[in-house]
Amino acid sequence: MSSIQLNPLKEGLSGNLSVPGDKSISHRAVIFSALAEGTSHITNFLTGEDCLRTVQAFREFGVEIERKGKEVTIYGKGINALQTPTQPINFGNSGTTARLLSGVLAALPHFSTAFGDASLSKRPMDRVVLPLREMGAKISGREEARLLPLAFEGRELTGATIEMSVKSAQVKSALLLAGMLAEGETNVIEKGTTRNHTEMLMSEYGIHIQKEGQKLTIQGNQQPKSSDLRVPGDISSAAFFLVAAAITSGSSILIEGVGLNPTRNGIITALEQMGADIKTEETGRVGHEPVGNVSIKSSKLNGITLEGDLIPNLIDEIPIIALAATQAEGQTVIKDAGELKVKETNRIDSVVFNLRALGADIEATEDGMIINGPVNLNGGTVNSYGDHRIGMMGAIASYIAEGPVEIINPKSIDISYPEFFEHFNEIQKKTS
């Protein structure tokens, strides 16, 4: 397995960065464009491996999709023009592709099968399969369809009222997509607020959806219309460099054009609570999504408690927040984050194991972790275990470690941030 050795920084970080397009929005833009009638153009598309899995999945359904770098043109011919795939669909490492497309594949009148890589094959699929069955879906698979591979005997589903048992944007989105294609009305009742990009994009693609408190209502038999869309920068990618600047003394950076959707910007709240010198300026909207610039300078940080409703808002940022907590004065407690156990790795274990290997005072709990700081981190080895966010956490740790940090399997970072190492070096060079 490949590895890369990263040396500690001598000076702080400086410069401006534009992070790549948002992963969640890129997936969803492809889904709606591929189901739409008419040609859609997507710019600033995330070219990470996960989003390319969603593109390939729709090519298997006969949709013509052209991609030139970050520009994607999708020649949608409508739901009725889709063709039955002739081979199994490969979801790769992408949980978002697997969960969201389950809602689509179950509701289209085609037979299809799908599988994933070793990591995705361990992640629970029953969270989408069981509620989709309440709508009449016929899905079979390994361990009673708890795990991939799955087979979909696609058919017209019937709208239903579904109370969600997990706080998950992927499950919500699968049900809304199935509801959009089903006969009748579907109500999805969320357990707590999760990222709302699916709902935002539905409005963008001409789909009617209503929200009342935690209840989302969608009428069936809706055909999306084509749209032209620019994807905002991914706040989950920006988070790595925001924390890097906060913890590396002498740093000052600006991240431009990043998505500031309030259901996604918990990292900014967390850094503010930790006492970071961070400023956010909303500059406008792309489609329905707010975007802006975030500037941050290094400063002393303090420990905090993260729990409850804030957790879904920063779930993917917990690995990098844990690194920030190793540099904060006092204790940081992360609770209510049991969902971390079913990500690309068990992110409670992979964060604790790797940060402890660098000398951090960190322990795992049933639903999160406890970190005491500040601690000077040593050099050492960080194993990404094929999880992009763990690889990036390790790379950012190398900025402040007292010796070189070796990252095992850094290639996994391409899943969500193909330009990561370019940006990682770029903001150092500008210091000289």
Q: Least distance in Å: CB of 172 to ligand SPQ?
A: 7
User: Under rule CB under 6 A, which residues in 10-29 are in contact with ligand SPQ?
Assistant: 23-24
- Binding status of residue 53 toward ligand SPQ by CB under 6 A: no
Contact status, residue 110 vs residue 133, Cβ threshold 8 Å? no
How many whole angstroms separate alpha carbon 397 and alpha carbon 49?
24
Calculate the dihedral angle through the C-alpha atoms of 74, 79, 84, 90, rounding to the nearest 10 degrees: 50
What per-residue string of b and e applies to 100-109 under the rule 16 or more CB within 10 Å gives b? bbbbbbbbbe
The stretch among 217-225, 227-235, 288-296, 336-344 that binds ligand SPQ (CB under 6 A) is: 336-344
Q: How far apart are the first and last CA of the chain?
A: 33
Among 315, 322, 337, 370, binds ligand SPQ (CB under 6 A): 315
List the beta bridge partners of residue 147.
Answer: 142
CB of 375 to ligand SPQ, least distance (A): 26
* Catalytic choice (22, 50, 234, 316): 316
**Which span sits near ligand SPQ by CB under 6 A: 94-102, 353-361, 367-375, 420-428?**
94-102
370, β-bridge pairs: 333, 363
Q: Hey, how many other C-beta atoms are within 10 angstroms of the C-beta on 126? A: 15
Q: What is the rounded CA–CA span in Å between residue 350 and residue 366?
A: 14
Measured from the CB atom, the residue of 137 and 174 that comes closer to ligand SPQ is 174
- Dihedral sign, CA of 31, 390, 392, 250? positive
Sketch the per residue contact string, 384 through 403, with ligand SPQ: x for CB under 6 A, - otherwise: -----x--------------
* CB 409 within 8 Å of CB 3: yes
The verdict on whether 234 is a catalytic residue reads no
Among positions 190, 234, 316, 414, the unique one binding ligand SPQ when judged by CB under 6 A: 316
Q: Is 319 helix (H, G, I), strand (E, B) or coil?
A: helix
Q: What is the dihedral of CA 279, 340, 362, 295, to 10 degrees?
A: -10
Restricted to residues 68-87, the positions that interact with ligand SPQ (CB under 6 A) are: none
Nearer CB in complex with ligand SPQ: 204/316: 316
Count of residues touching ligand SPQ (by CB under 6 A): 18
Question: Interface mask (CB under 6 A) for ligand SPQ, residues 260-299, using x and -?
Answer: ----------------------------------------
Looking at 36-44, 72-80, 169-177, 418-426, which segment touches ligand SPQ (CB under 6 A)? 169-177
Nearer to ligand SPQ, 9 or 101 (CB): 101
Which ranges of 36-112 does DSSP label H, i.e. alpha helix?
Answer: 49-60, 95-107
> Which position among 63, 344, 354, 393 is part of the footprint of ligand SPQ (CB under 6 A)?
344
Distances (CA, A) of 124 to 59, 138, 213, 386: 25, 17, 28, 18
For every residue of 232-250, DSSP letters joined together read PB-HHHHHHHHHHHHHSTT
What residue number has its CB nearest to ligand SPQ? 95
Residues forming the active site: 316
Which spans of this chain sit near ligand SPQ (rule: CB under 6 A)? 23-24, 50, 94-96, 168-170, 173, 195, 315-316, 339, 343-344, 389, 416
